[in-house]
Amino acid sequence: MKKQKNLAAALQGCRRCTLRETAYRSSQLRHLKTLTSSEGALNGANRYSVPEMSSALYLADAPDQAIRESTRAYRNDFGANAVIPAYAIFPVEVDLQNVLDLFDDSVLEAIECNLMELSGDWRAAYRKYEIDGRTRVVTQELGRAAFESGFEAIKYPSAYDTDRWNLVVFTENLSIPVRPMLPDQVLQAIIHLNTPPV
């Protein structure tokens, strides 16, 4: 992938796509009080975002993909028999006008990127980066450049199945807010949890 300083210039020449779709989010039930929040991404490192960069919302193309993506760390750290906490999966309606589509070969050519870089182990690279700041975490570099270039989202291949897509939405860059489609009972539970006692 192009070096960080050249990425922004390369992105300016990339086609900006639209995406109107129902995507899916997976969240631990212990986070029910803030189920629709994306503040967790603001505080932690993720594939396309670094701490303090963006309240990024990570979504998947289908419910099964959402749960696979969100529980991956448990399986990686604790093995196939890991006890995984309870999760909720819910649809999110997106209407995006300014998407960087990493399935577009012309985009990959412009940023000099390949599928291996996009689907590789970003966590291992990030751990090395924390020890030695010279290590590149190319997906995070791309995420920062896209965020700073005003893209609303990046559509990218899943590391599990590169024919399927995930989406990172930079909520600060949105022209139209995303709309979580939650059942009334869940909305009422969230409201109840967030209402201070009288």
What whole-number distance in Å separates Cα of residue 176 and Cα of residue 94? 8
Domains annotated for the chain, with CATH where assigned, are: 4-182 (3.90.175)
Work out the angle at residue 109's Cα, subtended by the Cα atoms of residues 57 and 54, and round it to the nearest 5 degrees. Answer: 20
pLDDT reading at 181 higher than 90: no
pLDDT at position 43 is: 83
Rounded Cα gap, residues 37 and 60, in angstroms: 16
The band of 89, judged by pLDDT with boundaries at 50, 70 and 90, is confident
Task: Please state at what angle helix 4-12 crosses helix 138-148, rounded to 10 degrees.
Answer: 50
Q: What is the mean pLDDT of residues 32-38?
A: 70
The overall average pLDDT reported for the chain is: 87
**CA distances, 52 to each of 19, 71, 152 (Å):** 26, 23, 17
Instruction: Give percent of the chain with pLDDT exceeding 70.
Output: 85
Residue 184 has pLDDT above 80, yes or no: no
Strand intervals (E) in 120-187 = 153-157, 165-170, 179-180
Confidence category of residue 41, pLDDT binned at 50, 70, 90: confident
Tell me the torsion sign for CA atoms 20, 102, 110, 148: positive
Q: Computed from CA positions of residues 118, 1, 168, 12, in that sequence, does the dihedral angle turn out positive or negative? A: negative
> Considering all CA atoms of the chain, what is the largest pairwise distance in Å, rounded to the nearest integer?
59
Q: What is the pLDDT of residues 13-27, one digit of tens each?
A: 999 999 999 999 988
Taken as a whole, the chain contains a residue count of: 198
Centre a 10 Å sphere on the Cβ of residue 113 and count the other Cβ atoms it contains: 19
pLDDT at 169: 96
pLDDT of residue 81: 65
3-class state of residue 115 by DSSP:
helix
